[in-house]
Amino acid sequence: MLRIVVLNPKGGSGKTTLATGLAAMYAARGLRTVLMDFDPQGSSMRWLEKRPPERPAVAGIAAYTRNLAVTRSFQLRIPPGTDRVIVDTPAALEPLKFHEHVRDADVVLVPVLPSDIDIHACSRCIGHLLIEGKVKRRENRLGVVATRVKPNTIIFRTLMKFLDQLQIPVITTLRDAQCYVHAAEMGLGVHDMKPEPVRPELTQWEMLYDWIESRVPSTEADPAPLERSQGS
């Protein structure tokens, strides 16, 4: 089992979009996927409620209903045989709580928008993950996802330059695209959509998939190829 935590205390940085998108991607690949929501707003759980039953199944755990101490025993509620656990975290998460959220994580993803405010917030978030969160650079489990990107803009170039200086890998960039707004409304991910119109998006998610999966011990079985389980 691989545990992927999506974290950035900056509100509206794209955490839920990334977490639900990952859940849809893994489900489309035929992996047994659990989406765990620590945000009291319950956005990921709402997405799950809207998810059409004919789409590949994602199991949900509304972790925000318990405190973290209790939540550790919650691990027992992760269905046996689960392959991937995706964790969505709330806005304004205090740095002192970072460690509790990331200590069991195989992968920690920080989504960041190309905006001046978000760039500064991201810098603080990475700093807190390294110090309070006790994530070590050499563990190579921390990555950034640039999101809501408009390519060929100055602010996007500024973001990429900033991320380069941080020396934390930028795993992929997700475009600012209407399909994500549509996906949020419908309980879908881009992997549930007709592939042709979202081909550029699928390529961007593929990079994320490859990076995450390169962290999996090689003994795990190879999941089903993507196209086979894709919806229409």
- Least Å distance, CB 220 to ligand ATP, is 28
Assess 16 for contact with ligand ATP (CB under 6 A).
yes
Figure out which of the listed residues 4, 14, 27, 126 binds ligand ATP, where binding follows CB under 6 A: 14
Euclidean distance between CA atoms 79 and 232, whole angstroms: 28
Q: What mask, x for binding ligand ATP by CB under 6 A, covers residues 183 to 212?
A: -x----------------------------
# of chain residues touching ligand ATP (CB under 6 A): 18
Q: Which residues contact 64 (CB under 8 A, 6 or more apart)?
A: 37, 38, 39, 40, 42, 90
- Please tell me whether residue 173 binds ligand ATP under the rule CB under 6 A: no
β-strand 107-112 against 142-149: which pairing, if any? parallel
12 binds, among ligand ATP, Mg ion, none (CB under 5 to 8 A by kind): ligand ATP
Binding test (CB under 6 A) with ligand ATP, winner from 1, 59, 78, 91: 91
Q: Which helix (H) or strand (E) holds 114?
A: none
Whether the Cβ atoms of residue 36 and residue 85 lie closer than 8 Å to each other: yes
Strand order from edge to edge, sheet including 170-175: 58-61, 33-37, 84-88, 2-6, 107-112, 142-149, 170-175
In the three-class reduction of DSSP (H, G, I as helix; E, B as strand; rest coil), residue 223 is classed as: coil
Chosen from ligand ATP, Mg ion, none, partner binding at 33 (C-beta under 5 to 8 Å by type): none
| Two tokens, residue 1 | 């089992």
- Cβ count within 10 A of residue 115: 17
Least separation in angstroms between CB 132 and ligand ATP: 19
Touching ligand ATP, residues 147-166 (CB under 6 A) = 147-148
State the minimum distance, in angstroms, from the CB of residue 58 to Mg ion. 16
Residues of this chain that bind ligand ATP (CB under 6 A):
11-17, 39, 43, 91, 147-148, 174, 176-177, 180-181, 184
